[in-house]
Each structure stands twice: as C-alpha cells, then as structure tokens.
A and B are shown apart, each in its own frame.
Chain A
Amino acid sequence: MSLRPKLNAVWLTGLCLILTACRSGEPDTSVPSEIQLARPVDVILTDQGRPAPSILAEQQVLHRGNSEEPQTLDPHLASGVPTANILRDLFEGLTTTRPDGEIVPGAAGRWNVSRDGITYTFYLRPEGRWSNGEPLTAGDFVFSFRRAVSPATAAAYGRMLVPILNAPAILSGQLPPDQLGVEALNELTVQITLSDPTPYFLGLLTHATTYPVYRPAIEAHGDSHVRPGNLVSNGAYRLRDWLPRSQIVLERNPHFHSDDQTIINEVFYYPIEDENTEFQRFRSNGLHWTHEVPSNQFRWLESNLSDALLISPWFGTYFFSFNLTRAPFIDNLELRQALNLAVDRSILTEKVSQFGEIPTFTLIPPGTPDYPSPIPEAADWTQAERQQRALELYQAAGYSLEQPLEVELRYNTSENHRKLAVSVAAMWKQVLGVRTRLVNEEFRVFLQNRALRRNTEVFRAGWIGDYQDPFTFLELFHSEHGRNDAGYNNPRYDRILNQISTERIPARRRNLMVEAERMLLADQVVLPIYVYVTKRLIDPTLKGWQPNIMDFHPSRYLFFVRTQSDTSSPVPGADSDQPGADSAGAEIGQETVNPS
C-alpha cells in the first residue's frame, strides 16, 4: 500500500502534462495573461542626478541572462557580445561610456589631442586602483597595449589597434611589440601616437582589447590569470566566482575610483543559450535582464509583458550578399539589382521578423551619428514601382518567366533566418518567377562555404559594428578583408578606403565614407534587409539603463527601485549602497579637449 502516494503523484503529473499539452496546442494569444510584474515606484533623482536613497530597494543583486559561456575572460583574447558584457563590468579602458552610450573619461580622467589628430595624451586618475588596491599606472597601459598587439598573444581583435603607430607591423611580426606608439610619459600619463588620425579612436578605447591587464597576475599564473582569486581588474566589479556554463558572479570592487556611485552590489551572469529557457527563467523571477527574447513570441510579449519588453535599434545590419566571383552574379549588375528591388523589406520586418526591425536599403544603419546615409533612389519608390523596375532589369539580364533564373539561397540554422529566406524566395518567385533552392547549413560549415566562395550564390550575412563609425562596415568589402565573402574587388573602392584611413579633416573623411557606401550599393554587392534591434526583457524595478545603439549597459549605472506594494521603510542609509551623497557626476563632463 505504500505505493499509493507515489501513484497519486504520477497521476497528478501525468494529468498536468496532458492538460498543459492540450492548452499549449492553442494559439499563443489564448494563454491567460497571469503575469503580474512588480510595479516600481517613480524614480526620484537628487540634485546630482543620482537616484534618491528613499526609492532604492533593499536588495541590490542583479541576475543577468547572458546567452553563452565566455570563451575566456582575458580581455585581449575575448570576442563576442556576451563576453564583452562581463568584461565591461570587470575592466575599464582609458575611456568608457555613459548609460546613453556617449563616450566619457574612464581610467583616464582627461586627455588632450594634438592639433593634427595624431597624438593623444591621457592623464590617468590619480585615485585609479586595481581591484587588489595597487595603483593603476601608465606603465600598466603600455604593457597591456603591447601585449594586445604581440603576435604571441594572438589577440582576437588585435587588428582593432591598427590605427596606432607601428601596430600592423608588430601584429605581423615584423617589429617587436616595444615599437608600438604607446608610451608612459610619467606614472600617470599615457601618450598614444597614431599613424593616421582616427576620429573614432576614443570610441575604440572602450573596446576590451584596449583594457589594461595586471602584469604580476599574468606572470604568476600564465593562462589561468583570469580564474577567480587570480584575476585582478580595474573596473567597477571584480570576479568572485566562476562555474563554467553555470554562472559568473561579480562583486563590487571597493577600490574602483567611482565605487561610491555603484549601487548594484553583486551581478550574476548566466550563460543561457536557449532563448525559451531564458524566457521561462525571467517569467519565474529568476532573471532581471535577458539577452534575447523568443523570436516568434512578439505579439504575446507585447500584450502580456510590454512593461518589461525593451526594443531598441542596434548598430548592425541584416543583409544578403551575392557571390560576385561566380555565375550567375559575376558581371551581372542588372540581375543583382532586380533581386534587390523585388524584395519587400517592410513585409519582412512587419510579418516575419516582427520585432520592430527597421527596413533598410543601405548597409550602414541610417541614423548613424554624423553620417548622412546615401539612401538609394529606389527607397522612395512604392513597392509596385520597385517590382516593375525589377522585372525590367530581370529581363534585361536575359531572364524571363519562360527562362527563369535558378538560384541558391544559403543560410545558417536558425528559425529567423529560415523564415526570412523562405519569404525572400517567395518574393522573388512572385515578382520575377525566380526558382530558389534554399540551403540550410550548420554555422561553421556555412562560414567556411561562404569564405571559400566556391559554391555560394546568394547567402545570408549580418554585421554588428565593433566601434561606432561607418568604417567598421565599409572595411568588410575591401578586396583583402578576411570577411569579404562576396568577393567584391573594386580597386576604386579600395582606394577610397585607404583615403578614409589617412584623411585628417572630419568632413572630408565623412564624404569619402558616403562615397564608398554609395559605390558599394550601386555595385549591388549586398541586399540590405533591416537594421537589427536589441530585444530583451528587463525587470520593471531595474532602472538606470538607457537604450543605446552599441547596446552597452554596464551594471554600475543600474539600480533597483522599491515596488509600490513594498511598504517597508526606506533603506537605511548606513550601508555602502547609499548613492547620491558624493560628488556625483564628477566623471561626466570633465575637461576634455576634442580635436579641431
């Protein structure tokens, strides 16, 4: 008889399964909206622009979903968005960003730029410390920059530092790392000499490849210098615990120069690859911040979780590209243009991708600061006009309904890619009668095939800018770039890119970039679809973040506010959480001298 309780349990579970199975078979919209999110109190700021202590929640522990396990926490070897998120909390470059993405002083309190835009002099904060309390010096930066360009390090993003004098020669092993144009003028002054003026250089300095690393830890521990207990960093947080594929735990760094302004005490990063799993963890209150949202749930999220859903433009473009080295696209501009015009972007963003992505006809996201996009004429036409023109061009290229083009469209495994590819193929079929074969490949197989250029025809691509400058997109199509999978080889284009690198006058440089993009679009190298958006769920009581196109959200700016139902008295001001009572804002609006 002792079986009975167990049996009941089995029955209950079975029944639940059957019931829920029936329920989940219904359309998404019928799922009752039982989601009760906590309602936050209104944010009150002090005179210094800091959150008032009275609104802050007692618990300031942040749980962030972060997509995947970092490959490494060594800032010079790291790559990928999830790793960058963690490193941004652990380290600080010479410059850093505000919640809105604007570049502000980081480890350097201020800087000068020489009139010709070649020499940058950074003055480190005298109070700057490593997480073990040791002073952060100019020598640390010199060591770190040299390490990042040394071929022995094999830094993933070593090429980011190419604007610095002698960096290319050092990266390729022709010069020793100590020839790099970075030197310490004294304990607290770093001078960086560039080979050419690089208007986005201050932005580059927010990238992980430029973060300082702690020499004694590297010398003592070698490859394991990033383990908990070994890792010494200079950011707002330090590493407390790391269980691979489970969690990374950061705690606030008491030696950080602005630690008195940090509010979140602990940050947990969870590598959750499956977006549905992440979504369920958010719904069951296990996460405050997700990396993604399930791609086909927009309507449901909008009607049930709109308070938590954040969608904002990102500095990246989703596009298809043509293999220009093979038939049918080699020397066939009309055909490429016809396929480009036949695609109705607004249907793709409204009906297929659905998350408010912005339809685009350009490679570089329109709205990039200080960059007037060369929007093609066709963008202003109606879709019917585009289709009409597409048909004319298609016929001019020698195809017709009787003799249709047969083409292969290749993409890597993902629900969203598949849906977009199917839709694009349907549009080509409907407008032009093109017969498209869809080819789905596992990611690395896909990357290799793309790079080989031997069997691709049309393929999916996408690019998220590494730094906030149109050049990060344009350089992809330089004939010698490693990711020029289209095989675009236009000496005039290469020449303009080289000119952009050496141009000293910002306005002229901008015009050159516009000219380069116009050329790229006129040559129909790419078929832009939409500007990416970041989409995530954020707990409504978590404040302090602002949407920004680089999608940088350092934990040090965030804070939890109390909920409206929380009737407990305001947080006692005794602990170190209390913000506001300091010279807040000191790091913003410091003396900076901009070039020209």
Chain B
Amino acid sequence: MLNYSLKRLASAIPTLLLLITVAFFLIRIAPGGPFDAEKALPEDIKANLEAKYQLDQPLIIQYVRYLWQIVQLDLGPSFHYRDWTVNELIAQGAPVSFTLGALALVLAFTLGTALGAWAALKQNSVADYSTMSVAMIGISIPNFVVAPLLVLVFAVTLGWLPAGGWSYSFSHLLLPTIALALPMVAYIARITRGSMIEVLHSGFIRTARAKGLPEREVIVQHALKPALLPVISYMGPAAAGILTGSVVIERIFTIPGIGSHFVQGALNRDYTLVMGVVIFYGVLIIVMNFLVDLLYAWLDPRIRYD
C-alpha cells in the first residue's frame, strides 16, 4: 500500500508540470494584458509596470522563473489586486471554499445515499418514482438557476436568510450549501438506487435473509457497503464538480472563495492569480482522486494495489 501511495504521488509531479505549462502559455496567448483598461495607461507608465512585474522579458525566461518560484511555494504578486500576493489571496479564499465544498459534499453524500437507498427499498412504488423524478429535475436544473430561486424564496420573499455575503454562520452557509449540493444529491441518489437494487438481488443478500437476519441488519450491514462503491468512485469527480460549481455559487452569493478568483482572474488577465488557482485546483483534484482510490480499497477487500 505504501509503495502504491508513493508511486501515485510521484506520478502526480509530471501531471502537475504539464498542467502548469499548458495553463501558463494558454493564458499568455489570450489577447489583452493585465494593465489594459478603458482608461488606457500612458505607454511609459505601462512599461514601468511591466518592468516591475518582469513582463517585459522573453516568455520562456518568465516561464522558467515562474517554475523556480513555484518550487519555493511562492505564487507571486497578484497583478490586479496589487495590495496582495497570490499566496495571501488563496490563503484567504481556500478556507471559505473548503468549508462550503465540504458541507456540500457531506450533505450530498448523506442525503443522496439515504434517498437512493430508500427508493431502492421501495422499488417501483410511488415513493420510488416521485423521488427519482425529483432527482431527475435536480440533475437537469443547473445551479445558476437553483441559487437565485433559493434566494428569491428564502431571502427576498420569506426573509428568513440573508441573500448573500459571507460569515462562518449557519444563516450565511445554508443556501449556498444547498444550491451547491442539490444537483449532486440527485446524482448520488440515482447511483445509489441503481447499485442498491443490484445488490439487493444478489445471492449473498438472499442468504442473509434466509439466515433470518433482521431486515435492518441485512440492509445496513450487508447491502449498503457494496452498494456505496460506485458512489465512492463518483466522489472524485464530485469534488471536481463542487469546485467548478462553486465558481457560479460564489458569484451569486458573493462568497469570497477561490472560485470567484478563477473567473475574475481570467477576465482581468491576472496571470499569477489564475496560475495560482489552477495549481491549487490541480493539486486538490489529484489528492481527492488519490484519497478516493484508498477509500475504494478499504471498502472492497478484493481491490489491492500492490
């Protein structure tokens, strides 16, 4: 296992390097630069700024210099938010995005599996069909539609919750967490239902029932664990989905997470900020996939990586 883990981690380095390289050159290809604005800077002042941020040097030199910075864990100064470094901006945004993402994942996982399992147990009943229909709607309605609707109902019309803004409080977290989790709840519910039905029809469940085990034990002890395997393997992509979903949600609820930096950074041609967020996301997704693989092995004793 240790051997496998080390190998996996080592293979992450070329992946990251490729990611950094592609992103670095792609963003430079985009027309316009960080210091362009409707009220144009005079050429001499722009030249001063470009010299200050070493944008006047050949691209390849900038690239090598940037890689050397990364090795030192320095993501450089933000070109747009000039009072902050990218490290600071990410350090401020990451806990916010993490809190929101983790809550959404937990909500999606618990609610999704519970709903899916329940629907599977009541297979082909009204409860099953209605749950799955709602789940289908949940999957089809994008979260940039769900989020404003939640705001309209719970903040504007009912006045129960704030329409946006940020603090580590229940009232500020509730709506964005729901908006972020909802499509995933639906997705997980459908996956769980499918695999649960399959498991419930398998031989070892019949054996368990024939042994006279109480139904509750059959479901919780024997059926649920194998039924969750496909859900676990979905958690890797789900985490990525949370990240991209949070870009939209953070904007709608004006939450100062990483996601909004990504979009705004690209629009502002804030090269260093975009690179910083790309690297951050890249590392995160690699780590998430790695964890999911480990979890998978733990859940299914047949899987061994050595």
Contacts and interface: CB of A to CB of B under 8 A. Distances in A.
Interface of A: 3, 6-7, 10-11, 13-14, 16-18, 20-21, 24, 34, 69, 71-74, 77, 79, 151-152, 154-156, 158-159, 171-173, 223-224, 226-227, 243-247, 270-274, 276-277, 280-281, 283-286, 442-445, 447-449, 451, 462, 466, 482-483
B164 A151 contact: no
Contacts of B42: 158-159, 171, 482
A158 B32 CA distance: 22
Contact of B164 (A72, A272, A449): A272
Interface string B39-83: 111111100110010000000000000000000000000001111
Contacts of A447: 32, 36-38
Given A13-B178, A79-B37, A482-B41, A281 B31 contact: no
B254 A444 contact: no
25 contacts: A6-B114, A11-B134, A16-B149, A20-B153, A73-B83, A74-B83, A79-B37, A151-B45, A155-B45, A156-B39, A172-B44, A226-B83, A244-B81, A244-B84, A244-B92, A246-B166, A274-B251, A276-B148, A277-B151, A280-B163, A285-B159, A286-B163, A447-B37, A447-B38, A482-B41
Given A244-B84, A277-B254, A151 B44 contact: yes
Nearest to A14: B134
Contacts of A273: 251, 254, 264
Nearest to B127: A7
Contacts of A272: 164, 254
A227 B156 contact: no
B152 interface: yes
B115 A10 contact: yes
B254 A270 contact: yes
A17 B149 contact: yes
A104 B99 CA distance: 49
Nearest to B88: A244
Contacts of B41: 156, 482
A71 B31 contact: no
Nearest to A151: B48
B53 to A, nearest CB: 10
Given A171-B45, A273-B254, A284-B156, 18 more contacts: A7-B115, A18-B137, A24-B149, A79-B39, A154-B49, A155-B45, A159-B45, A173-B44, A243-B256, A245-B260, A276-B148, A281-B254, A284-B151, A444-B32, A447-B38, A451-B40, A482-B41, A482-B42
A147 to B, nearest CB: 14
A280 B150 CA distance: 11
Contacts of A158: 42, 45
Contacts of A6: 111, 114
Contact of A280 (B43, B137, B156): B156
B236 interface: no
A274 B252 contact: yes
A523 to B, nearest CB: 22
Contacts of B89: 244
A14 B111 CA distance: 14
B190 interface: no
A443 B115 contact: no
Contacts of A243: 92, 166, 256
A232 to B, nearest CB: 15
Nearest to A268: B165
Contacts of B271: none
A581 B43 CA distance: 52
A3 to B, nearest CB: 5
Contact of B256 (A74, A246, A482): A246
B157 interface: yes
Please name the 10 residue pairs, one residue from A and one from B, whose CB atoms are nearest each other, closest first.
A444-B32, A245-B256, A246-B256, A482-B40, A284-B163, A154-B48, A284-B155, A72-B82, A280-B163, A281-B163
A247 B96 CA distance: 14
A69 B264 CA distance: 10
A446 to B, nearest CB: 8
Contact of A281 (B81, B164, B256): B164
A21 B115 contact: no
Given A155-B45, A224-B83, A244-B256, A443 B267 contact: yes
Contacts of B290: none
A270 B165 contact: yes
Q: Point out which of B145, B155, B156 has the most chain A C-beta atoms below 10 A from its C-beta.
A: B156
A462 B37 CA distance: 12
A447 B42 CA distance: 15
A16 B153 contact: yes
Nearest to B178: A13
B254 A442 contact: no
A285 B159 CA distance: 9
* Residue with the highest number of chain B CB atoms closer than 10 Å, among A6, A277, A442: A277
Contacts of B274: none
Given A17-B149, A273-B264, A445 B162 contact: no
Given A77-B82, A151-B44, A274-B251, A444 B162 contact: no
Contacts of A74: 82-83
Contacts of B185: 10
B253 interface: yes
Contacts of A14: 134, 137-138
Contact of A72 (B83, B155, B166, B264): B83
Interface string B223-262: 0000000000000000000000000000111111000110
A288 B163 CA distance: 14
A10 B165 CA distance: 24
A131 to B, nearest CB: 18
A83 to B, nearest CB: 11
A73 B141 CA distance: 40
A488 to B, nearest CB: 15
Interface string B289-302: 00000000000000
B118 interface: yes
B267 A483 contact: no
Given A77-B82, A444-B269, A34 B111 contact: no
A73 to B, nearest CB: 6
A226 B185 CA distance: 44
A26 B271 CA distance: 43
A476 to B, nearest CB: 10
A407 to B, nearest CB: 22
